Structure 1
Amino acid sequence: MARLRASPHAIAAGFASGAAASCFPLIGLHFLLSFALAWCLRGSMVAAALGTAVGNPLTFPILFAAAYRLGAAIRGEEAALPGAIDQAGSELAAEGIFSGSLEHAWPLFTTTMIGAAPIALATFAAFYMLVRWSTARVQAARRDRLASKALRGRTA
């Protein structure tokens, strides 16, 4: 990302958009969501694509479990036990995912979406600050390096 030719804000907004989009249980739509958010915030699309790597097979279980538990707390519900989630998954698999009956999966999905929103906001804020700060430092160091090379070239 240090090589991207954009302002620290654009790079940070793009990367943070991708990271925030990855917090939602919308696998397959993370790129589109991150591009839309980055576009609204005048962020870099390349940085947004890179930011979606925050959501990956290693982090999805943690992100989605945390989002579900937080969503259940926000809704004032008790989080379903893992057995209840397994049962809902088994029933959905037995009926077929495209059977038209999503009565078992829909409550899990909506609760996870509700919980993902505050996690995505916190993720956006954290990555925006970190990436903006680091990008500004890297770009300033590069400018200084190039200026000193140019100055040495004139005196030689």
Structure 2
Amino acid sequence: MVFKRRDRRPIWKIAVGVLYPRGGWGRAAQYVKHRLRRLPDTPEKISRGIAAGVFTSFTPFYGLHFIIAAIIARLMRGNILASLLGTFFGNPLTYIPIGVASLGTGYLMIGRPFNAALFGIGERTDDNFCGLGCRFGNAFNDIWHNLRAIFTPEKADWHGLIDFYVEVFYPYMIGGILPGAICALASYYMSVPLIAAYQKRRRSALRAKLDQLKKKTTSSRD
């Protein structure tokens, strides 16, 4: 195959690349900004796509953000590629602020006190406290155990998964709507004039180059 890598990267290098892109997150941000500016669409459609990606970053459906962003962008008649690039708003540098904002809002909406110790922030309430990583681990252990239980005499146990849904997933899901919508609207109204100005400047530059080319062609004929 022509476009297939000759040297297949090991899995650990792929994982490192997701957590910390080659060249750093600053360079990755510049790449995303460059790609967004060069998209062949109206500033409004591109900005709606960006807003869809930013909003999706506040949902707990990790691993499905690209799909969800594309669906939302489609419903909003936004640029789908812009929505995929907009999901880069959620990255290892912003996951904790996004998670704290979403879970904090979710706990407030359901009328329960939010314990920031879930993210390792603040003091733990007791020695047996189970943080976010612990709850994720318990949920995955339940899934793995219950899959094995289908083929073995072991009994299914859903306590860890139920605890994860009640304490993390559900508050995160409903709590991410408000901060996600605020950030999505902010990104939309910030992106429209910036993209419009860039596209106007780019058209002017292309027009100037075309005029220069015409002048050179005319002078060469003379």
- Is the Cα contact below 8 Å between 1:38 and 1:48 reproduced in 2? yes
Root mean square deviation of aligned Cα? 2.4
Aligned residues: 156
* CA deviation after TM superposition for structure 1 residue 97, in Å: 3.3
What is the TM-score with the length of structure 1 in the denominator? Answer: 0.87
Match of 1:19 in 2: 54
- Is the Cα contact below 8 Å between 1:15 and 1:48 reproduced in 2? yes
Once the two structures are superposed, what CA deviation does each residue of 1:72-118 show, in whole Å capped at 9, x if it has no partner? 11222111352444299359629823143322111221111111000
Aligned partner (choices 101, 117, 132) of residue 192 of structure 2: 132
Question: Which letter maps to 2:209?
Answer: K
Q: Indicate the SS of the match to 2:93.
A: coil
Match of 2:73 in 1: 38
2:162 corresponds to 1:103: yes
Q: Mark the CA change 1:81 to 1:54 in structure 2 (over 3 Å): closer, same or farther.
A: closer
2:94 corresponds to 1:49: no
CA distance in structure 2 between the partners assigned to 1:41 and 1:94 by the alignment:
34
Match of 2:108 in 1: 73
Q: From the CA coordinates, give the structure whose radius of gyration is larger.
A: 2
- Is the Cα contact below 8 Å between 1:13 and 1:41 reproduced in 2? yes
CA distance in structure 2 between the partners assigned to 1:116 and 1:90 by the alignment:
19
Match of 1:122 in 2: 182
Once the two structures are superposed, what CA deviation does each residue of 1:22-75 show, in whole Å capped at 9, x if it has no partner? 111110111111000110111111111111111112211210111111111122
What is the TM-score with the length of structure 2 in the denominator? Answer: 0.63
Q: Indicate the SS of the match to 1:146.
A: helix
Runs of 5+ consecutive residues of structure 1 not aligned to the other structure: none
Q: Mark the CA change 1:94 to 1:8 in structure 2 (over 3 Å): closer, same or farther.
A: closer
- Is the Cα contact below 8 Å between 1:39 and 1:45 reproduced in 2? yes
Query: RCO (CA 8 Å, sep 6+): is it higher in 1 or 2?
Result: 1
